[in-house]
Structure 1
Amino acid sequence: MTEIVVAILAIALALVLVSVLLPVAERLRIPHTVLLAVLGIALGVTGAWLVGETERFGLLGDFFEGLTAVGVSPAAFLYIFLPPLLFTAGLTIDVRRLFDEMSAVLLLAIVAVFVCIGVVGGVVHAVTGIDIFVCLLLGAIVSTTDPAAVIGILREVGAPKRLSILAEGEALFNDAAAIATFTILIDVLVHHIVPDAAAPGLDFLREFVGGIMLGIVLAHVALFIVTRLGGSITGLASVTVGLAYVAYILGDQYLHVSGVVAVVVAALTLATLGPTRLQPHQWEALRHTWHQLEFWANSLIFLLAAIVAVRVLAGIRWWHLVAVAALYIAAFGARALVLFGLLPVLEFFGRVQPVDRRYKTMIVWGGLRGAVTVALALVAYGNDRLPQDVRDFVAIIATLFVLATLFINAPTLRPLMRFFRLNELDETDKALRDRVLLLSWASVAAQVRDVAKVYGADADIAQRLPHLEAGDAAMSAGGDIALPMDKRIAYGLRTLCARERELYLWRFGQQSISRHIATMLVVDADRLIDQVQTDGVAGYALALQQDVMLDRGFRIALWLHQTFGLERPLADRLADRFETLLVERSVMHELIDFNRADMADLLGEPVADKLHALLDERLQGIDGALKALSLQYGDYADTIRAQHLQRIAIRLESAEYDRQRRNFAISQEVYRDLQHALQERRAEAARRPPLRLGLKLTAMVERVPLFAGLAAGEVSAVGRLLRARVVLPGQKIVTRGERGDAMYFIAAGVAQVKLAMGDVELGEGAFFGEVALLEHKPRNADVVAKGVCHLLRLDARDFRRLLAARPDMRQEIESVAAQRRG
């Protein structure tokens, strides 16, 4: 049998074996990678024992001969297996949440990598006396982490989602930083040249920035290609596979920048832009394809590396165990230093939300090492330019360290979780469990009685079922849930937030909203859930306040428009905001109904009333924001509303076709034809109309009572004197003590006047700033926008011209000014 045939046989059987291990890992509740390592070592030992004897064992012998024939060189590990691992991690992470937690992610990824390299290098050098640069190389190899196990634990115990984002983001970026540093240290050891202090930093910066630029460019090229493939899922998958490998090889071999960074950034760019440029089914198919590729790459790299590791570990000596112990203490000590020493600094300055010490401990202990560490160790081992003793030392120590994390840390993660009681229900969950149980029993009892009638059975049979009888008795007693009011309200808010998230996803699944809008809304809902989990009602209010405050991107777009006249960024932001507000308004009405129907029974009427008040307050805020936008962009608002109604009509029509098909009223051919026509209309309804930023001054002027009596020609004349201005929540409009150069009319929104005796709110139609102009004095108060405000600005010169031309307006303005002075 030829070598290529046995190699293919070996890979095929290996994939079967690693797949069989999945349910075993699930049953034993340990990470899959632990079993992969065990299997790989077992195969390596067995293969070594069968050397020269494979022909005697038939198919089994050919399998082990094929594993040897695969012959993947250590250097090839990175080029074959690393791109799928990196690309999948970047493609599947929640990019918006990642940017929310970027300060903490960069701390855990970039800073922690260098801390780990420095601490590991220093400790291992002190213990073993090995050259410091060799020890630093070892530190770079072991600084990469595999977050799969700890992420699974965090999700299982219901930890805030942002902790999973921290773990995923850390693994994503520390791979890039570690591999870039690994490359630099290899060059130092090969050329025996110690660079000056700045050179490694500059090299790292050049490779990192170059990799970012390359990844962005290639991702945009790939998107340009895939959007012209006519919806082909196979073509889409092929282009993205090419993107991952081209980014890595082009960066690493041709442009001499970080190929790892290029792959990660390309994946993140695709994850950011792809959902808005691809159909939902295309995007889901792409993610599924990459999950499959990642599984194959991760499984095969562990198996093949473990087989090679058996040969590497044959040269182990007792002092290697001392070195591994020192490495183990140093690596996890460095990790603890970052999480318990540096992360609190970011928490103190408000850059990240506080993290519970128990979760910090879980993240420290969950810093397992996986496929990337093994691959780097084997690359160093296979580098003929390095001295043999350096290659052996690095490969043996790194391999033993990976095995130590897999066989010590991984199996003890769950006991640690139980030690911290993260797996136990708190008093809130226990009380709610009991309440839900009773409600369910009562509901089931009523249904069983109805079923008993259908079967002609005695209703007493159902009544005698013990748990149903207990449920009836408890409900008839009218008992309330045994929890304090504040905890019930906090739980109700978490339930409503989770329900809100599901409603957004449901609308996306029904193609009522685009993936872009759905992603924005789901990210906001996740942030809301995290805040409520951390701070209860206060967290809910804070999150809503942050949601109303327009983000940095919106402010930059507004600045670009006001400074350079660039319309497109601001138009896109305004269009996004309008659509999200419209969807939020619809969801709020559903949540109000859900709260009244479900929360009252579960948590009690007083809690439902409080939750209703919170939802109603939020709904009023949404209505106010929509009103402000509709005032200035009325035509666009009407178009978007009509478009949403059209999408709903298409969804209902599609559901009717599905019903007719299930009832065999129409054939498959007819159904396909109807759905095809519907898809064309759906694509048309999904196209966002252009938003023109031209200010409709006439409409805004007419909303100000002072100008209500003007004729059409006079409105136009006044409009030529006014300039429209948009101010954001919290933005100062006028400042106390400054010279008055204009007065302002509020066309939409609310502004707060900051006075010594307290704040005064001015709403739609009000004006301010006139006193400073009339008396030629400095401003006597700060005025700040409470929400998004649409203002009409009247400069001092035009103010005097207007008052001279319109004595009636002068009289009214002076009257208001006199009242304010009084």
Structure 2
Amino acid sequence: MSETVLILSGLLAVGFLTIQLARSMNIPHSVFLVIIGGAAGLTIRAVHPEWVRGVSEAFPGIILYVLLPPLIFESAYNMDFSALKKDVLPITVLAVIGLIISAVLIGSGMHLFLGFPLMACLLFGAFMSATDPVAVVALFKELGAPKRLTMLVEGESLFNDGSAIVLFQVLLAAAMAPAMPVGAGMVGTICKSFIIVFFGGVLVGLVIAVITSWLLKMIPTGSGQMGMTVAAAYLSFIVADHVFHVSGVMSTVPVGLYLGNRARLEFNKEALHGMHYLWEFLALAANIIVFFGVGLTVEPKVLRECLKYIPAVLFIAYAARTLSVVLTVPVMNRFKMTEYISGSYQGILIWGGLRGGLALALVLLLQDSFEYKQLFLGLATSVVLATLLINALTIKTAMKLFGLSKLTDQEENLFMRTIHKLQHHLYPPLFRAAEDGSLSNALVNRSRADAEEALKDYSVARPETDSERFDFEFRNLMLSEKSYYDEKLEDGILSKTAYRRLIRIIQQRFDAYWTGGNLALFEYKFPLLEKERASSRFFSAIAPQTYHKLRIRRLTRVLEECLHLRFAIREALTDVEHEEARKLADGWLEQIADRLHYFFTLYPSYANSIQSLYIANTLAASAEKTLDTYMNLNLITGGVYARARQYVEDLRRREVSSSRAYLNPSIVYLLKHVPLFSRLPDAVLVEVAAAAKILELPPGAQVVREGEAGDSIYLLTAGMLKVTGTRVAKTKSHKLFAGDAIGDPTLLTGDFFGEMSLLRKAPRSATVTTVTDATIVEISYAEVEKMMGNFPEVRKTIEAGAQQRMAAQTA
């Protein structure tokens, strides 16, 4: 055991130390590891051959069950899910149909030209069709390759590993089964097994992803949450592979995709930032051992024995990869099944189809009794080494030949604008330092002149158009807005529900821009006030308490979205220079201001609740950051830090408790905030409240009906009502929000009604219906008459309101 730990530690140490060496030699790190691994293998074989044999025997198990799960999870976790969704069809076709085509072509080619048995050749084709473009993707990042090309290559590899292992397992089972003639029956059995194992793995992964998401909510620490993801990566693989006998790779993929796509909603702040470094390290460590292992397991003797077959196998492997792309991608292009994939992209997909450690691991999994195991190991090694030493080292040249290393005209202009933005932010502090004598004014000016001179070497094909400038500023505005939401979510100021909807609103504006251009953006209306469902009145009648809770949750969420939307756009606007883009943002701010005014007017208690919560969370987040800074600078002791954190948390709890009180205010509180009763003593309000009743009504509910007898007066404490009737004149009404209005007289928060029946001893003179969600306090006439007798100002106010309404009816 100690020897194994020592060997692994040594391999990792060499791998980490050679990162800079490989970079200085302009060789992909993975390729460099294979080279030094091969050299180390030759040296060790001469001194201690049994040790290399032991490594070779352990190699397949280590790759499949120790190294592959973190590699798959890391790749899936860091994958841009929105970009993956756009290209999921070509990626899936290449990874499944393309792999099957490649495996069949390699197997058929070897069977026809080299004379090996067909089933054995198909097995070889299955594991030799698994791509491993680690070196290529690393170069893509270095060269700034098109994002879509990187997604196609990396996405194919991610799904390709799973389909290759599944196909290998299915074919191996068929090969080991009692003799079955090769024909439609065998093909059907193989296809059925492939589908069950492949999609069964996906199903197991989805279940584990949901369970992991639930468990993460129970773990309070960042380190605990990160540890849970490591466990989930291995559990999803092992449970699928060993318990359900389906694809472990295809089980790990959905776990990584699910958690990566929902990272900001799943992890706390510490885990969110730590996940990148944790999984980057685990993937790097796994790749070091994989590629080192590839080099170590190369058997020179086996390579010499199969030397005569290598040229033909290499030709067949390269031809199969080429045909697997050209037989699938052009078909998708022809029938417009996906966004067009250019010939240059297809060329890189072909040349970037490297093979790696997985192919060798699958060969080594073959039983020793398998007749062609050693031969296939030698041939697989030759293909792996050829793609790593030829394709990987020439991919940069291939990119240049296909013109993919150049920026487009639009990207050139974007580059220039980016540099100008950088200079705008970088030089002002230096000039201020020069003005106060801290820096040499001449040196700062010279640096600025050098920057301008250096920029002349980056020629621009054509001047930037106004539409391109707007495009840049619009994207900058949206990304700045998203950055605000990300930060507030991490600090606990923005709720996860509101965050999801606000991100969706950003995507809606992007969609509007892509489909309708600038005009669609100026016409965009924020979907913050959705219409109430027709079932609301029925639901409020059968489950009033539940309806009330859902209503509070919905209204407070919308108000929270409005507030943060306004703050985010305001903050993002400070960095926008384009005039039309600023007008666009100003229009959005005006639209949001209308909605906020609407909420503050109709739902004052809910507005107080959300604002109080925002203030509490903002103060707590700022205080925690400040205390962390003080602690890191040793300005305070651990004891002071802990006590200060406790104080901040106690203060936040108190503020949160106050904010919740606004959501379910007492009748006394509501009466106190209605002008009619605002000056009455608390003792009187308590007495009135005891006899009053609160009505929580959905939009469209009828409160009173014209012609019916009246025995109560009503106080509107939240929401909007409309007044209709035979003697009610149409009037210019209050606006609901930008562009919408009610054509009937309206009652707003603080208004009262029902007094005319009381004073005139007559039936109701109008019908009152809720326009929005409303909270109404109903007080019996007996209580009102009692107050009118004891408090003349109440009588005076009620009579004045009644006279005003009678005057409006007779006008």
Q: TM-score normalised to the size of structure 1?
A: 0.68
Instruction: Render the CA deviation track for 1:641-685: whole Å, top value 9, x for unaligned.
Output: 443333222233335545766887644431332234435777999
Corresponding position: 1:204 with 2:186: no
Once residues 186 and 651 of structure 2 are traced to their aligned partners in structure 1, the CA distance between those partners, rounded to angstroms, is 64
CA distance in 2, matches of 1:414, 1:527: 37
Deviation string, structure 1 residues 44-66 (Cα, Å, up to 9, x no partner): 222223247xxxxxxxxxxx948
- Distance (Å, rounded) in 1 between the aligned partners of 2:554 and 2:133: 35
Pick closer, same or farther for the CA change 1:517–1:105 going to 2, 3 Å.
farther
Aligned twin of 1:670 = 640
Map Cα deviations across residues 743-773 of structure 1 (whole Å, 9 max, x no partner).
xx999689xxxxxxxxxxx844369xxxxxx
- How far apart, CA to CA, are the structure 2 residues paired with 1:205 and 1:586? 50
* One of 303, 314, 320 as aligned partner of 1:324: 314
* 1:399 aligns to 2:381 (yes or no): yes
Shift of the alpha carbon at 1:465?
A: 3.9
Bigger share in helix: 1
3-state SS of 1:671 partner? helix
The CA distance in 1 between the partners of 2:565 and 2:235, in whole Å, is: 41
Q: CA RMSD in A?
A: 5.3
Matched, 1:83 2:69: yes
Determine whether 1:11 maps to 2:8: yes
The one-letter code of the counterpart of 2:97 is: V
The corresponding residue for 2:305 is 315
**Alpha-carbon distance between aligned partners in 1 of 2:198 and 2:238, rounded to the nearest angstrom:** 15
| Equivalent residue number for residue 171 of structure 1 | 157
C-alpha spacing 1:621/1:261, structure 2 compared with 1 (3 Å): farther
Choose from 615, 623, 644 the match for 1:653.
Answer: 623
Alignment CA distance shift 1:407-1:449 (3 Å): closer
Q: Is contact 1:83-1:248 (8 Å) kept?
A: yes
Which of 227, 236, 239 pairs up with 1:247? Answer: 236
Aligned to 2:102: 116
- Note the 1:755-766 alignment, pairs <5 A: 763-765=740-742
Partner of 1:284: 273
Pick from 355, 377, 385 the counterpart of residue 369 of structure 1. 355
Cα 1:661–1:625 shift into 2, 3 Å = same
TM norm structure 2 = 0.69
Q: Does residue 199 of structure 2 align to residue 215 of structure 1? A: no
Q: How does 1:583-594 map to 2 (within 5 A)?
A: 583-594=564-575
Q: Structure 2: how far apart are the matches of 1:77 and 1:254?
A: 19
Q: Per-residue deviation at 1:41?
A: 1.4
Query: Is the contact made by 2:197 and 2:245 (CA closer than 8 Å) also made in structure 1?
Result: yes
Q: Aligned letter for 1:399?
A: T
- Structure-2 separation of matches of 1:159 and 1:526: 24
Instruction: Report deviation, 1:303.
Output: 1.8
User: Could you say if the C-alpha distance between residues 105 and 202 of structure 1 is closer, same or farther in structure 2, counting changes exceeding 3 Å?
Assistant: same
Relative to 1, partners in 2 of residues 1:111 and 1:578: Cα closer, same or farther, differing over 3 Å? Answer: farther
Identify the residue that residue 48 of structure 1 maps to in structure 2. 45
Note closer, same or farther for the CA distance 1:228–1:153 as it changes in structure 2 (3 Å cut): same
SS in 2 for 1:594: coil
- Look up the match of 2:613: 643
Is the alpha carbon distance of 1:5 and 1:66 closer, same or farther for their aligned partners in structure 2, counting shifts above 3 Å? Answer: farther
Q: Distance in 2 between matches of 1:103 and 1:637?
A: 46
SS in 1 for 2:132: coil
Aligned residues: 682
Q: Is the 8 A contact 2:27 2:393 kept in 1?
A: yes
TM superposition shift of 1:522: 6.3
Answer yes or no: is the 8 Å Cα contact 1:579–1:640 preserved in 2.
yes
Rg larger in 1 or in 2? 2
1:132 maps to 118
Match for residue 396 of structure 2 among 414, 417, 437 = 414
Counterpart-to-counterpart distance in 1, 2:311 and 2:633:
70
- CA deviations over 1:304-347 (Å, ceiling 9, x no partner): 233223254343222232122111121133124333x144257x
Shift of 1:11: 1.9
The answer to whether residue 23 in structure 2 is matched with residue 26 in structure 1 is yes
- Residue type of the alignment partner of 1:207: V
State the distance in 2 between where 1:77 and 1:305 align. 10
2:256 corresponds to 1:267: yes
**C-alpha distance in structure 1 between counterparts of 2:490 and 2:164, whole Å:** 39
Distance 1:258 1:214 in 2: 9
* Distance of 1:695 and 1:117 partners within structure 2: 70
Is 2:292 aligned against 1:295? no
Q: Distance in 1 between matches of 2:120 and 2:582?
A: 64
**Is the contact made by 1:150 and 1:363 (CA closer than 8 Å) also made in structure 2?**
no
Q: Distance in 1 between matches of 2:439 and 2:258?
A: 63
Classify 1:456/1:222 alpha carbon distance in 2 versus 1 (closer, same or farther; 3 Å). closer
d(CA) in 2 for partners of 1:247, 1:439: 45
Q: Are 1:187 and 2:173 matched, yes or no?
A: yes
1:74 aligns with 2:74: no
Q: Which secondary structure does the structure 2 equivalent of 1:145 belong to? A: coil
CA change 1:763–1:361 in 2 (3 A) is farther
Q: Give the partner amino acid of 1:139.
A: G
1:188 to partner: Cα distance? 1.0
Shift of 1:225: 4.7
Partner of 2:729: none
Task: Report how far residue 617 of structure 1 moved.
Answer: 4.3
1:500 aligns with 2:484: no
Identity %: 23
Q: Deviations over 1:442-500 (max 9, x none)?
A: 998876665456449996x469848549979x9xxxxxx94332232233334334433
Quote how far apart the aligned CAs of 1:149 are. 3.9
Q: Is contact 2:198-2:246 (8 Å) kept?
A: yes
Greater mean deviation of Cα atoms: 566-575 or 308-317: 566-575
Write the deviation string for residues 198-223 of structure 1: whole angstroms up to 9, x where unpaired.
32232223223432333333344445
Equivalent runs, 1:700-711 vs 2, <5 Å: none
Indicate the residue corresponding to 2:579 in structure 1. 609
Unaligned runs of 5+ in 2: 456-461, 665-693, 725-732, 745-769, 773-811
Q: Does the residue aligned with 2:575 lie in a helix, a strand or coil?
A: helix
Mark the CA change 1:573 to 1:211 in structure 2 (over 3 Å): closer, same or farther. farther
User: Quick check: 2:216–2:225 contact (8 Å CA) kept in 1?
Assistant: yes
Alpha carbons 2:226, 2:271 under 8 Å: kept: no
Question: Is the contact between residue 581 and residue 626 of structure 1 (CA under 8 Å) also seen in structure 2?
Answer: yes
Shift of 1:40: 1.9
Partner of 2:793: none
**Structure 2 counterpart of 1:490, from 466, 471, 496:** 471
CA contact (8 A) 1:86 1:260 kept: yes
Deviation at 1:187, TM superposition (A): 0.6
Q: Note the C-alpha offset of 1:281.
A: 0.8
3-state SS in 2 of match to 1:144: coil
SS at match of 2:471: helix
The Cα shift of 1:16 comes to 1.0
Q: What one-letter code is carried by the residue in structure 2 that aligns with 1:255?
A: F
Out of 512, 518, 523, the position equivalent to 2:493 is: 512
Q: How does 1:548-563 map to 2 (within 5 A)?
A: none
The CA distance in 2 between the partners of 1:336 and 1:470, in whole Å, is 46
User: What is the alpha-carbon distance in structure 2 between the residues aligned to residue 201 and residue 528 of structure 1?
Assistant: 43
For 2:364 and 2:232, how far apart are their aligned partners in 1? Answer: 25
Q: Is the 8 A contact 1:113 1:143 kept in 2?
A: yes
Q: Give secondary structure in 2 for the equivalent of 1:93.
A: coil
